[in-house]
């Protein structure tokens, strides 16, 4: 990808706070969804409180590893001395090693890689969240039935852990995982996969916001939305409305503002220590949102102050 075309693929929002004494933290999200916009809000709050400059830039779509690598160079050019990255691919690990060798402490957020970041990770306990989804599916189906696990993408640690957790939780609850396929967020492919065995299916699980929206669109196209138990992940206006209408039965919702807030705090601590810090892993619980407690989701999206 040529640098001249970078503006077409990058989310060009950034925050630069006038507090040079506090240094600069660069944050590289994985995409541009409601989740990542909430992460930025939490990160901005921490930056204001700590009086550091925060530059926030990333690819528009998930999986943009080349865009992320180019963003990292831009952030270094802005003088950022600590980075927080939601790595799109294992290719990020090699660059992180170079950054660490050059005295730039780096933290992963939301998802890790097989090689951990020098400062560790701030994210969701994805396995526990997936297991909770499987348990809830089993309760709704009273321990009987066949379900579909619609996986997002190979090699993505966060959704992979949610998928692994769901599979184990559903089977522990007495369910049979009839369909276990990588379908991404292609609603047409989802419709094709589901249509093959839809008559035998009682439920489906989707591990992130884009895959949940794709499956929702596919079920509506097949005129089966609300007729099968659909548990998704993350919450945006489309998914929340589907929950209200009964087209979905539950959402596992993360704490993105807290993730952004704690990531900036951790990066600032390492920067203040001269780039030195012990790796730590902060895993936050996801919340199960149903029609009965939908107000919790609104509160989590609009609460001005992340929990410390």
Same domain, residue pair 47 and 192: no
Same domain, residue pair 20 and 111: yes
Instruction: Identify whether 108 is part of a domain.
Output: yes
DSSP 51: T
Instruction: Identify whether 295 is part of a domain.
Output: no
Same domain, residue pair 143 and 228: yes
Domain count across the chain: 2
Helix (H) or strand (E) holding 186: none
Same domain, residue pair 119 and 20: yes
Same domain, residue pair 222 and 272: no
Instruction: Identify whether 291 is part of a domain.
Output: no
Domain boundary among 191, 221, 246: 246
The pLDDT assigned to 11 comes to 41
Same domain, residue pair 133 and 117: no
Instruction: Identify whether 290 is part of a domain.
Output: no
Instruction: Identify whether 207 is part of a domain.
Output: yes
Pairing of strands 10-11, 58-59: antiparallel
Same domain, residue pair 175 and 217: yes
Same domain, residue pair 120 and 133: no
Give the whole-number percent of the chain exceeding pLDDT 70.
Answer: 88
Same domain, residue pair 205 and 273: no
Instruction: Identify whether 268 is part of a domain.
Output: yes
- Phi, psi (degrees; rounded to nearest 5) at 202: -110, -20
The pLDDT assigned to 2 comes to 40
Please identify which residue in the block is written with the tokens 């939305």: 225
Same domain, residue pair 154 and 260: no
* Both tokens assigned to 265: 């705090």
Instruction: Identify whether 296 is part of a domain.
Output: no
For the entire predicted model, the pTM comes to: 0.83
Same domain, residue pair 167 and 20: no
The number of C-alpha atoms within 13 Å of 289 and in the hemisphere containing its C-beta is 28
pLDDT single digits (tens) 178-237: 999 999 999 999 999 999 899 999 999 999 999 999 999 999 999 999 999 999 999 888
Q: What is the CATH number of the domain that holds 27?
A: 3.40.50.2300
Instruction: Identify whether 305 is part of a domain.
Output: no
Which range marks the domain in which residue 189 is found? 126-246
Same domain, residue pair 104 and 37: yes
Q: Are 259 and 306 in contact (CB under 8 A)?
A: no
The pLDDT assigned to 24 comes to 94
DSSP H helical segments within 119-206, as ranges?
126-140, 157-172, 187-197
The pLDDT assigned to 298 comes to 60
């Amino acid at each position: 990808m040529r640098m001249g075309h970078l503006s077409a693929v990058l989310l060009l929002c950034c925050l630069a706070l006038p507090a040079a004494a506090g240094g600069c933290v660069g944050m590289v999200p994985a995409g541009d969804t409601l989740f990542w916009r909430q992460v930025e809000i939490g990160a901005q709050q921490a930056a204001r409180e700590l009086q550091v400059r925060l530059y926030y830039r990333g690819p528009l779509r998930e999986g943009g590893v080349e865009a992320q690598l180019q963003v990292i160079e831009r952030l270094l050019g802005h003088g950022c001395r600590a980075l927080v990255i939601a790595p799109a691919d294992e290719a990020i690990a090699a660059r992180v090693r170079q950054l660490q060798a050059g005295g730039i402490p780096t933290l992963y957020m939301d998802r890790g890689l097989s090689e951990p970041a020098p400062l560790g990770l701030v994210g969701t306990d994805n396995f526990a969240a997936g297991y909770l989804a499987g348990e809830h599916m089993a309760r709704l189906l009273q321990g009987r039935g066949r379900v579909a696990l619609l996986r997002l993408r190979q090699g993505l640690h966060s959704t992979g852990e949610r998928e692994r957790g769901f599979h184990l939780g559903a089977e522990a609850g007495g369910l049979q995982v009839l369909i276990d396929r990588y379908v991404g967020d292609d609603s047409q492919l989802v419709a094709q996969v589901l249509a093959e065995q839809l008559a035998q299916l009682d439920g489906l699980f989707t591990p992130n916001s884009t895959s949940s929206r794709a499956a929702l669109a596919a079920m509506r196209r097949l005129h089966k939305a609300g007729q099968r138990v659909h548990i998704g992940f993350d919450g945006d206006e489309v998914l929340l409305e589907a929950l209200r209408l009964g087209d979905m039965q539950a959402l596992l919702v993360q704490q993105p503002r807290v993730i952004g807030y704690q990531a900036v705090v951790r990066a600032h601590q390492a920067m203040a220590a001269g780039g030195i810090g012990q790796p730590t892993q902060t895993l936050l619980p996801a919340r199960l949102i149903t029609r009965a407690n939908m107000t919790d989701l609104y509160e989590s999206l609009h609460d001005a102050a992340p929990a410390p």
